[in-house]
Structure 1
Amino acid sequence: MHVYASIPSGRGGGPFPPVIVSQHGGGVDQFIRDMADRLAEAGFAAVAPNLFHRFTEEQLDNRTGRIQHLSDPEIVADIGSTVEWLRAHPAIQGDHIGITGFCMGGRVAWLGAATNRHIKACVPYYGGNLFVTWGSGDNTPFQLASGIQCPVLFHFGEIDENPSPADRERIDAELTRLGITHEFHTYPGADHAFMDYTGLRHHQEASEASWPRTVEFFTNHLMR
């Protein structure tokens, strides 16, 4: 599995607090690499694993249909492998690992936090499909919420339909019931994928408002 890695420059050899950047449907493309680079500029070692590494060229050619080939157990295994690689790396603070992600990556971030106790901060961006399984998964990410052992910062678009406003309320109620510390932000006029400057739904105001909150959240929970 290939991993794009970006580390802080001019700060010596670490160790650095790491953040896993979970890809969107476009894969580990320029947008995802830029997000990793921005985290590195803020002092984090950012890594973006290629979750499509099992795919054939034919499967990759159909961008809109790529996610149908993903399976939750394989996603969990890939995030677990990434965590173990980080924990073994001498330049990494392996006991303070964060995870973020965009679109399907927001779902992956939630799933990673729910299944890996080493993740200490989780920031999903408009993570949809939390109420369904992918592939051979037995439980939905939502059903696995009790496994989350870290604070969660969740970014929503006001006019997004997946996750919808009703989804937000359901997620909020479940995290509250479980006693999981969480912070939600909904951005007026923003749709799904509002961070992705390469797409038609990019929303400048939401993008500019959400990113400092993400950096501050990771700073507070990972930089010790």
Structure 2
Amino acid sequence: MADLTRRQFIIASTLAAGFALAAHPILAEVITTDTKGLVAGEVKIPVKDGEIPAYRAMPAKGNKFPIVLVIQEIFGVHEHIQDVCRRFAKLGYLAIAPEMFVRQGDVSKLTDVQEIISKVVSKVPDAQVMSDLDATVAWAQKSSKGNINKLGITGFCWGGRVTWLYSVHNPKVKAGVAWYGRLVGESNSLTPQYPVDIAAKLKVPVLGLYGGSDNGIPVATVEQMREALKAGNSGSEIIVYPDTPHAFFADYRPSYRQEQAQDGWKRLKAWFKEHGVA
């Protein structure tokens, strides 16, 4: 999509409906949050090279809502991420999830996780992500009743890593909650840094929520991040749930663990309240 004209880019950019194909079959206990009392749906965010789609949910009444950026997993801004936005809106937040992969491809139509990673996710530059999130924050403030002085961020899997990085990038962020985001990795031109590389200069308090049985994020790397955080003064913390897999918050997948997911959500709400987001 990189060679599309600005007009084509805008026309081609829409959010997926339902769940990403690679995420099927969907569990029967999937959580569904209604839109009663909310304004919820797709919006367009102006960015440097056109517009990107995003899902926005907020209370139907009121203004100057605290803003929460909700950062997607590798499956994009599909139904689960949209539902998380509605859960935040029910709590009084303006929650917005910009589609971070739209220039590189539509992951919702791909059926294989490795194909999603190799064809799309691995080609997304961190610099593009940071710029798009800056644009999303600006839009939320100017066009969607958001209070820039109460800005939080949370993300899952791929978005968990982004949560750590954006909390360094934007000093306006009051607090972040990173759900099982990768902490250590090989640097390259597109992804030059990982959370462990920026831990010492982090000033924003980030709560990391990780699974002790996550096959993709060894506990040793979590301990490495904990040690790196000690060199700074952000007040960040990491919780590790024993015998818990990756994606334990994803209520539509077999990896879902209700007890840990509910505990993590409770901790998130308290963290945002403690650090001035709520």
More helix by share: 1
Map of 2:48 onto structure 1: none
Q: Could you tell me how far 1:194 is from its partner in structure 2?
A: 0.5
Map of 2:226 onto structure 1: 172
Q: Does 1:23 align with 2:56?
A: no
Distance 1:60 1:33, change over 3 A: same
Q: Could you tell me how far 1:139 is from its partner in structure 2?
A: 3.2
More strand by share: 2
Q: Of the candidates 182, 204, 214, which is equivalent to residue 258 of structure 2?
A: 204
Q: Which amino acid aligns with 1:63?
A: I
Q: Does 1:50 align with 2:99?
A: yes
Q: Could you tell me how far 1:119 is from its partner in structure 2?
A: 1.0
Q: Of the candidates 23, 28, 40, which is equivalent to residue 89 of structure 2?
A: 40
Q: Does 1:63 align with 2:112?
A: no
Which has the higher Rg, Structure 1 or Structure 2?
2
Distance 1:13 1:19, change over 3 A: same
8 Å contact kept, 1:72–1:134: no
Q: Does 1:108 align with 2:159?
A: no
Map Cα deviations across residues 14-42 of structure 1 (whole Å, 9 max, x no partner): 11000000000110011111111111111
Q: Of the candidates 194, 210, 213, which is equivalent to residue 267 of structure 2?
A: 213
8 Å contact kept, 2:68–2:154: yes
Q: 2: CA distance between counterparts of 1:169 and 1:147?
A: 18
Map Cα deviations across residues 123-154 of structure 1 (whole Å, 9 max, x no partner): 00000154333652433343233443211111
Q: Does 1:118 align with 2:169?
A: no
Map of 2:10 onto structure 1: none
Map of 1:187 onto structure 2: 241
8 Å contact kept, 1:103–1:128: yes
Q: 1: CA distance between counterparts of 2:122 and 2:153?
A: 23
Map Cα deviations across residues 44-74 of structure 1 (whole Å, 9 max, x no partner): 1100010011023589634343311211111
Following TM superposition, where does structure 1 have runs of at least 4 consecutive aligned residues deviating by more than 4 angstroms? 57-60
Unaligned ranges ≥5, structure 2: 1-51
Distance 1:43 1:130, change over 3 A: farther
Q: 2: CA distance between counterparts of 1:93 and 1:18?
A: 6
8 Å contact kept, 1:70–1:135: no
Map of 1:8 onto structure 2: 59
Q: Percent identity?
A: 29
8 Å contact kept, 1:17–1:222: no
The number of equivalent residue pairs is: 222
Q: Could you tell me how far 1:206 is from its partner in structure 2?
A: 0.9
Distance 1:68 1:42, change over 3 A: same
What's the TM-score, normalizing by structure 2? 0.74
Q: 2: CA distance between counterparts of 1:133 and 1:21?
A: 24
Map of 1:142 onto structure 2: 196
Report SS of the residue matched to 1:2. strand
Q: 2: CA distance between counterparts of 1:146 and 1:94?
A: 25
Q: Could you tell me how far 1:82 is from its partner in structure 2?
A: 1.4
Distance 1:222 1:147, change over 3 A: same
Unaligned ranges ≥5, structure 1: none
Q: Could you tell me how far 1:84 is from its partner in structure 2?
A: 2.0
Report SS of the residue matched to 1:7. strand
